[in-house]
Chain A
Amino acid sequence: MYKEVVSDKQGMALMCVFIWGSSILLGVDSRAGKDVWISLILAALMAFPMVLIYARILTLFPGKDLFEIIRKVFGKFFGKAIMLLFLWYAFHLGALVLRNFGEFITTAGLPETPRTVPTAVLGLLCIWGVKEGMEVLGRWANLFIFALIGVVIGTAILLVGEFELDNLRPLFGKGAEQILAGSFSVFAFPFAETVVFLMVFDVLKSKKSAYRVFGMGLLIGVAILLVAALRNALVLGEDLLGSTYFPSYYTIARIDIRDFLQRLEILIAVSFIIAGFVKISVCLLAASKGIASIFNFKDYRFIVLPVGLLMINLAEFIYGSIMEMQEWAFKVYPYYAFPFQVILPLLVLVAAEIKVRSGTVKKEEQF
């Protein structure tokens, strides 16, 4: 069978676009108020060792995805329980992002349209994308990453006139506790969500690529997210930042150059569709692969459509309202995601290291 390969560059682009996925629109946790950028940097520092752990897991078994690794390391029965947990996480995350998208379109763009319509349309597009495979997603990300970087940096430059330095001063206004709480939330959403890539990166080129892809991907992702967060904080100020659902959208809406260059907020909507598509697709791919490997099927493609439809359904009834979505994303989600993002990967890493070192599982060289 033809084996798909994603180059390092495409892998990095996928990581970056995935990290921006919903944060480019929802912003990061604004609990820290004026110091939101400090908590972003702290979160990145926390996330860096974590992605190195993810990369290490992939390097131990090159050419395998997380589900195969778990089966090899934990055996059939115990392994399946862990697989089920990871599978649920990927599935749930995809549904959450899909719901964000639906809420955004009905709040900001098409208020008369039922939310189901944008959700279902994007969901079907993702199903198609996933059926075409990882390579297609990689090429898509590689193509559009520059557009996304351009949008973030370009709008920041256009907004320089609106910047108010007082929106960042004084430093540490809310105290260390709030900053740390904020950074914990930013760590879980979006940085450590990259754990989903463990489940789909059996397509990397060589053994070393995992470190490059995860490390560089996180670095570029953090840099651009930092620009976006600073831009939002400088323009909107603490109070507005905390009270809007889609801070980037309202920030960009401030652009007005001589009554000529205005209404650029559509750029944010478009970037969210581009990046959200990648994020949902990667989650859907991971969930489909999980189901396929739990039931011992080699190929995941046949199951993509049912899983995608289930995801659309879950996105439809998971929250009652946008307020609930906001509360869940920033208050509950970090604690909910912690086991999936930190504890389980650590467990897998320790078990894998023991198995590989003791020689129970033969280290396979396939390149």
Chain B
Amino acid sequence: MGLFVVILLYVMFILMETVPMMRQRRLKEVLLYSLLVAVSLLISILLSLGIELPSPAHPIKRTILAIIGQ
């Protein structure tokens, strides 16, 4: 269910935004846009399947605690 909603929303957004950009032939922008959306979609699908992704909070925390020495 969640996965279905996520994909539906993404398709809606992509159509809403890329079609005008394609019409104006802003291909470079479309390229960057689709790259970011693809990454985002991948993360969203993984999250809605219930897969735990490694959070950047943990390595940052470990590094900082090592630096300030606590």
B29 near A309 (CB under 8 angstroms)?
no
A202 to B50, CA, bound (A): 41
Separation of A332 and B56 alpha carbons in the complex (Å): 13
CB distance from A244 to the nearest CB of B (A): 22
Do A306 and B36 touch across chains, with their CB atoms under 8 A apart?
Answer: yes
Residues of B with C-beta under 8 A to A309:
10, 13, 37, 40, 44
Residues of chain B lying within 8 A (CB to CB) of residue A324: 57
Most buried by B among A302, A307, A316: A302
The answer to whether B40 touches A313 (Cβ under 8 A) is yes
What is the chain B residue whose CB lies nearest that of A335?
Answer: B64
Number of interface residues of A (CB under 8 A): 24
A320 within 8 A of B: yes
The docked-state distance in angstroms from the alpha carbon of A324 to that of B36 is 28
**Nearest Cβ in chain B — how far from A84, in angstroms?**
14
Q: Which of B10, B17, B55, B68 contacts A302 (CB 8 A)?
A: B17
Write the nearest CB–CB distance from A294 to chain B, whole angstroms: 10
Selected from A303, A314, A320, the residue in CB contact (under 8 A) with B36 is: A303
Q: How far is the CB of B29 from chain A (nearest CB, A)?
A: 5
Determine whether the beta carbon of B47 is less than 8 Å from that of A316.
yes
Interface of chain B, main secondary structure: helix
For the complex, give the distance between the alpha carbons of A313 and B68 in Å: 30
Partner of B65, one of A295, A314, A317, A332: A332
Chain B 15-44 residues near chain A, CB threshold 8 A: 17, 21, 26, 28-29, 32-33, 36-37, 39-40, 43-44
Cross-chain pair count, CB within 8 angstroms: 65
Which residues of chain B are within 8 angstroms of A92 by Cβ–Cβ distance? 56
A308 to chain B minimum Cβ distance, whole angstroms, is 9
Kindly report which residue of chain A lies nearest to residue B52, judged by CB atoms.
A317
Bound: A306/B57 CA distance, A? 21
Contact call B64/A306, Cβ cutoff below 8 A:
no
Judge whether B17 and A305 touch: CB under 8 Å: yes
Is A319 a contact partner of B37 (Cβ separation < 8 A)?
no
Contact A302 B26 (CB under 8 A): yes
Bound: A310/B47 CA distance, A: 12
CB-based contact B40/A303 at 8 Å: no
Q: Which residues of A contact B26 (CB under 8 A)?
A: 302
Residues of B within 8 A of A303 (CB): 29, 32-33, 36
Question: A65 CA to B33 CA in the complex, in Å?
Answer: 22
- Chain A hits for B39, CB < 8 A: 310
Q: A302-B17, A305-B13, A320-B55 are in contact. Are A310 and B32 (CB under 8 A)?
A: no
User: B47–A332 contact, CB under 8 A?
Assistant: no
Residues on A with C-beta less than 8 A from B21 are: 302
A318-B55, A319-B57, A332-B65 given as contacts; is B47 within 8 A of A313 (CB)?
Answer: yes
Query: CA–CA, A295 to B67, complex, Å?
Result: 33
Would you give the shortest CB distance from B55 to chain A, in whole angstroms? 5
Question: Are A328 and B61 CB-contacts (below 8 A) given A302-B21, A316-B47?
Answer: yes
Q: Give chain A nearest CB distance to B61 CB in angstroms.
A: 5
B29 touches A297 (CB 8 A): yes
* CB 8 Å contact bits of B45-68 with A (1 = contact, 0 = none): 001000011011100110011011
- Asked if residues B40 and A310 are in contact (CB atoms below 8 Å), the reply is yes
Q: For A320, list chain B residues within 8 Å (CB).
A: 55
Assuming the contacts A302-B26, A318-B57, A336-B60, asked whether A295 and B32 have C-beta atoms less than 8 A apart, the reply is yes
Chain B: residues with CB nearer than 8 A to chain A? 2, 10, 13, 17, 21, 26, 28-29, 32-33, 36-37, 39-40, 43-44, 47, 52-53, 55-57, 60-61, 64-65, 67-68
CB pairs A–B below 8 angstroms (18 shown): A116-B2, A291-B32, A291-B36, A302-B29, A303-B33, A303-B36, A305-B17, A305-B37, A306-B40, A309-B10, A309-B44, A310-B43, A319-B55, A324-B57, A332-B64, A335-B64, A335-B67, A336-B64
